[in-house]
Structure 1
């Protein structure tokens, strides 16, 4: 499969560098909704923190013996110090520990990422740019370049090993625009944005990631 390469201004790159051959095993698959759903669900579950538990009566290290007389003390007739009414006592019907740590086969995770990339390529919402290099970190200038590049309401930019610092600073305040290095590419963020923008370095990094 061949993809056309553009500049950040939306212009086509001239010459032999104007097209980029990509691996059909990564960008040419038929996406499956069940695989994508499994990977996205796994990602969102992994984000959840552990729900902390409260100590109940059986967890409090106090005596269960009756500590006072039944009558004559002038106070309530308590049986032990572990009751919820006392400071430090066990909580009645407290929250239980819930640990969200699902597992998913690595092959399914890799397949899901390849299908997410393929879904963007098949729906023409994948743009390949030569690089994200900018001389100055100017948000206004970058917005003008985005208008020429042409994408939807949201876009995910994926660069190579590291994101250009000026581009990262200039795009930080633009709503709907997110930037990631190639190592951070994931199914949820790709599907959660209308347009996916890859640099030439990002394509090379992703192909090396799967081929390696």
Structure 2
């Protein structure tokens, strides 16, 4: 399918042919949800920790006699039902990551790209080359294009001047094509691909 190409100066730069096997799939919300949950689970640090009964500082001596005191029987004061005692079945350090088939991840990425195109929120630019690394100049260009909440994906590597200019702009993310992922595509309203990114993504996902 044909798709128009623009420039950062908001001028037409011809057309590009988009592969329908990558950009023309039907939306699959269930697939996107699976991959987003998988990505977020992998990002969790898993460093949560509380002290169990065996780790709380204190003596393990029996607090008082078993019988004759009129009180509940008590082994020691580190039990989980007393103030200052340990926690029963509390969180421990662990990994929250789990496996997801590569075919599912690949199909979800193609579905995310297709959904942006179907919603009219996919833009292709010829390149993201800038003469200056000044953020102010890039902010003006993005405002003229209407890109306020945007993910911009370049080719094998993001052009250095553009990367430096864009890194302080709120709600604007810049990634190389190898970093393209479902979560980042969906969390931004507008998706912008360079021609190099389109070629690389099609080669990667076909």
Give the TM-score range, shorter chain. Answer: 0.7 to 0.9
Shift of 1:96: 2.9
3-state SS in 1 of match to 2:95:
coil
3-state SS in 2 of match to 1:207:
helix
Shift of 1:93: 2.9
Are 1:2 and 1:21, in contact at CA under 8 Å, matched by a contact in 2?
Answer: yes
Shift of 1:146: 1.2
2:132 matched residue in structure 1: 136
Q: 2:203 aligns with which of 166, 185, 208?
A: 208
5 Å-filtered alignment, 1:1-212, equals 1-13=1-13, 18-54=14-50, 56-57=52-53, 91-93=86-88, 95-97=90-92, 98-151=94-147, 153-211=148-206
Are 2:155 and 2:177, in contact at CA under 8 Å, matched by a contact in 1?
Answer: yes
Q: TM (normalized to structure 1)?
A: 0.80
Shift of the 25–57 alpha-carbon distance from structure 1 to 2, 3 Å rule, reads same
3-state SS in 2 of match to 1:20:
strand
Shift of the 81–102 alpha-carbon distance from structure 1 to 2, 3 Å rule, reads same
Are 2:19 and 2:202, in contact at CA under 8 Å, matched by a contact in 1?
Answer: yes
Distance 1:147 1:81 in 2: 64
| 5+ residue gaps, structure 2 | 66-73
Q: TM (normalized to structure 2)?
A: 0.82
Distance 1:32 1:176 in 2: 25
| 5+ residue gaps, structure 1 | 71-77, 85-89
Are 1:54 and 1:94, in contact at CA under 8 Å, matched by a contact in 2?
Answer: no
